[in-house]
Amino acid sequence: MNLVPINSESVPLGEPLPFALRAANGALLAQKGFVVQTAKELSEMVGRGIQLCVDVDESGDSYRAFVGRLQQMLLSSDTSLGQLAAVKMSGPAPAPPPARAREERGPLDWSELQLRMTQVLRAPKAFDFKERFAQLHEDLAKRCEQAPDATLLALIFLSAQETRMYSATHAMLVSCICMIVGREMLRWPPAKVRQLGGAGLSMNIAMTELQDQLAQQTQPLTARQIAAVEDHANRSALLLAELGVTDEVWLEAVRHHHHRKPGPFNEKTEGQQMARLIQRADVFGARISPRASRWPMPVTAAMQASYYDEENKVDEAGAALVKGLGVYPPGAFVRLASQEVGVVLRRGVSATTPRVAVVTNRLGMPTGELIPRDTGVPQWKITGVVAHKDVRVKISLDRLLPLV
């Protein structure tokens, strides 16, 4: 089963259910086609404290249509929380998002994952938080193991344009960068890599809504906002402990992830090593992401900021990150010696020779078809990066991922 929680107000009343209603443990509450006549009847059927869920595997089209409409509303600044709660699950919308299976059967639906992550991080006190968080963590960890380049491509590509679900997208990016670098560069064992990923995913849990707000804010931070940002690492660790996280290394990594303390990597505790890698990934992710008040930083400048520490020396964790992701990581736009512009698809045999797909020709015109290029060949050597805002071609992530 692939159970996803829904709001009881999303259940259509007085008409046949286009999906089966289930409890969080999978127990069937109402068959597909059953008619719930009134809100009172639904309340009595559900009972006190039971979370309504839908099994995506058995009601995929209805669920995906619901998620598509909910996401569009979430991205609209004019939509109130009341309107979001009023979205009903029904049959497929006229143009629902493309249907994609879960990781074990194909690519993840990154739009759905962004929304799920946003919902979970914004409601840490929900009774099923631990289960939902663990499932998201597992989805990401598997993705990092099975398709690391596609994962980096999706999250870096989305991060360079995401402002409305910034906190969740940023948390996923940092978590996945850390898991990939921890496994491939630091050669940490699987359990430690998962531990690191969990810390990266939950590092800002005490300020999720504030972080999303700040991404949209054009005014200077208030004194209260500054204080909340400065203290968020400690508050996040305390909140995680309240939520039942007993792993002291995880908690230490979250508690220290905002510390700016350079120094030899091997002289740090296990939790502090994780915190330093998270901090370096945090620096990179924050700089490539846009804000309402500024453009994102070019990817090479963001890499440089991660590579050098607070004393302008090479940072060991930052060096591992750059070596792991490459100078031009998946999702970045680059200019080639041929004057073509391409998007990086996957890492290459060296940090400066990734595989790219050309999106505009040497005259700056769209190529239509995405043309693969090997940048290890002199005529297609990378000569520089191109900012996302300067790429005048709108490209769908769905078109890029199959090329990886």
β 3-5/366-374 pair status: unpaired
Q: Is the pLDDT of residue 263 over 50?
A: yes
Residue type, 74: L
Residue type, 137: H
Give the residue with greater pLDDT, 63 vs 173. 173
- Mean local confidence (pLDDT), 315-327: 94
Residues 6+ apart with CB under 8 A from 254: 199, 202, 203, 233, 236, 237, 240, 275
- Mean local confidence (pLDDT), 204-217: 92
Per cent of the chain over pLDDT 90 is 54
**Res. 2 pLDDT band, cuts 50 70 90:** low
Residues in the chain: 404
- Mean local confidence (pLDDT), 33-56: 70
Assign residue 277 a region (left: φ > 0; alpha: ψ between -120 and 50; beta: otherwise): alpha
Q: Are 111 and 99 in contact (CB under 8 A)?
A: no
How is 122-182 classified by DSSP, letter by letter? H-TTSTTHHHHHHHHHHHHHHHHHH-HHHHHHHHHHHHTT--TTHHHHHHHHHHHHHHHHH
- In the block, tokens 């949209």 appear at 216
> Which strands form 3-5's sheet, in the order they lie side by side?
3-5, 53-55, 21-22, 28-30
- Mean local confidence (pLDDT), 119-142: 94
Q: Are 398 and 351 in contact (CB under 8 A)?
A: no
Q: What is the pLDDT of residue 109?
A: 83
Question: Quick count: other Cβ atoms within 10 Å of Cβ 147?
Answer: 18
Per cent of the chain over pLDDT 70 is 82
What is the C-alpha separation between 253 and 316, in angstroms, rounded? 17
Give the range among 43-57, 188-202, 207-221, 229-243 with minimum mean pLDDT.
Answer: 43-57
Exposed/middle/buried for 98, CB within 10 Å: 0-12, 13-18, 19+? exposed
Q: What is the pLDDT of residue 188?
A: 97
Give the residue with greater pLDDT, 43 vs 47. 43
Q: Is the pLDDT of residue 103 over 50?
A: no
> What are the structure tokens assigned to 38, written together?
């009134």
- Mean local confidence (pLDDT), 51-57: 72
- pLDDT tens-digit readout, 337-351: 999 999 999 999 888
What's the mean pLDDT when you consider all of the chain?
A: 83
What is the C-alpha separation between 258 and 203, in angstroms, rounded? 9
Q: Is the pLDDT of residue 383 over 90?
A: yes
- Mean local confidence (pLDDT), 58-66: 55
Structural domains of the chain ordered from first start: 3-77 (no CATH), 111-325 (1.10.3210.10), 333-403 (no CATH)
Residue of 284, 281, 318 lying closest to 160 (CA atoms): 284
What is the C-alpha separation between 383 and 338, in angstroms, rounded? 9
Assign residue 381 a region (left: φ > 0; alpha: ψ between -120 and 50; beta: otherwise): beta
What is the C-alpha separation between 174 and 224, in angstroms, rounded? 26
The pTM score is 0.73
Exposed/middle/buried for 21, CB within 10 Å: 0-12, 13-18, 19+? buried
Q: Is the pLDDT of residue 48 over 60?
A: no
Q: Are 191 and 135 in contact (CB under 8 A)?
A: no
What is the C-alpha separation between 291 and 304, in angstroms, rounded? 20
Highest mean pLDDT among 11-25, 83-97, 270-284: 270-284
- Mean local confidence (pLDDT), 371-394: 91
Residues of 45-80 as b/e, b for ≥16 C-beta within 10 angstroms?
bbeeebbbbbbbeebbebbbbbbbbbbeebeeeeee
